[in-house]
Amino acid sequence: MNDDEYYVFFNLETGAATWGGKGSVGATALQVANLPEGAGVIQIPQQAVLPLGGVNLDVIKSSYAASIDADADKVRSRFITNTPGQMATYLEKEAEARRVLADPAASTIFLSLEAAALGIGVVELAHEVVTQADLWRPIGARIEAARRKAKVELEAAPHLAAIAAAIRIDWPAVAAGTL
């Protein structure tokens, strides 16, 4: 197992790689404290390191695209149970809840069984479900918009400076709606 961390310095104006290095986990963060003026540093996967000091931007982009998705999932998980089965359940419950609020006699399975288990009425539960869905929707939309924006910018990034800019996402501000 290789615990080395690879990084490359780049010119902030041109985005061109200037030099690189490797160290133990956390090495990239240590480089940030001593950056020369006009330089940036970015962590890269080992597979992106090319002979003679070059870097493969496609490998770097692919690695960061996966990281963006994983980060968005982590943020979502602060608000919802973010698994495929649970997401399908949420969608079904919301659909049933909206049907019940439009017609209290509407047939449901999820809400009927859950309401019985909780000892409350289906209409009461439908209100709770719709309220939660309506609270989640703008948060989820902001997370998705930030994720997509970052990935589109990342894919279009012609150099390291643009990659570094594309992956700089303030997830707490996204979730809070302060961006």
Task: Find the Cα–Cα–Cα–Cα dihedral 17, 21, 26, 28, rounded to 10°.
Answer: -20
pLDDT value at residue 55 = 94
Give me the pLDDT at residue 2, please.
67
Q: pLDDT by residue for the chain (179 residues), tens digit each?
A: 568 999 999 999 999 999 889 999 999 999 988 888 999 999 999 999 988 778 999 999 999 999 999 999 999 999 999 888 999 999 999 999 999 999 999 999 999 999 999 999 999 999 999 999 999 999 999 999 999 999 999 999 999 999 999 999 999 999 999 97
Position 125 scores a pLDDT of 98
Q: At what angle do helices 57-76 and 122-156 cross, to 10 degrees?
A: 160
> Which uninterrupted H or E stretch holds 131?
helix 122-156
Q: What is the reported pLDDT for 168?
A: 96
Q: What is the pLDDT of residue 1?
A: 53
**What span, in angstroms and rounded, lies between the C-alpha atoms of 91 and 23?**
46
